[in-house]
Structure 1
């Protein structure tokens, strides 16, 4: 009987050593394709998107999910890679109120032969207009 109990305990210990790394591995990444979902205070999710049509029309999108009714602002910044750094070439913003999903989209034409990305800025305000949270996320780079 002692050998049976000892064998069961050894198997239980071995099983727990194998399962722990597997479960930890599945929860590592929180960033994929321009979407990041960390645990913010007021923001549940932020997303940045960029598409460029064959005619060079760049569509920048920014979206958030809010779990509260604080006022918020989404700013989309179209950036071009120039001589080793990212430069904002176009930018626009929209303000929102209420909770839930908020999305803002703007479009501009771009020149071929360059790399572009969309830097999305999100700011949350309290009832007095004070900034209480500010976050950014960047879309994947697109070459046009």
Structure 2
């Protein structure tokens, strides 16, 4: 007797992501900064090429943005760490400074040099999830 296997979908094959957001600028997770929020999940396009890590982070933030409330940064500066699967080591770090209606973000991938993301316009009502989503959006040139 054979057993039928459940057909695999691309989403089943994507290890879960966790995004931890801390108030202030930090170089490692579990820092002394206040943990503002933690998001967990995964995102994968149906019948298309897999998302890049940055695209998947952006999609998760987009999905959470309208459904869950998130705090604002008391300092106007915060750090997001992205983890893949059960790893304790982040695969991405995003440092964000939001002042006077603009946000600047610095992206650092595991074992790679950091680089600046394009500046984005933010509103006074934007929380850390909205600002991160705006900062990680792919822009057309």
Bigger share in strand: 1
- Structure with larger Rg: 1
Task: With the length of structure 1 as denominator, give the TM-score of the two structures.
Answer: 0.31
Q: What TM-score results when the alignment is normalised by the length of structure 2?
A: 0.32
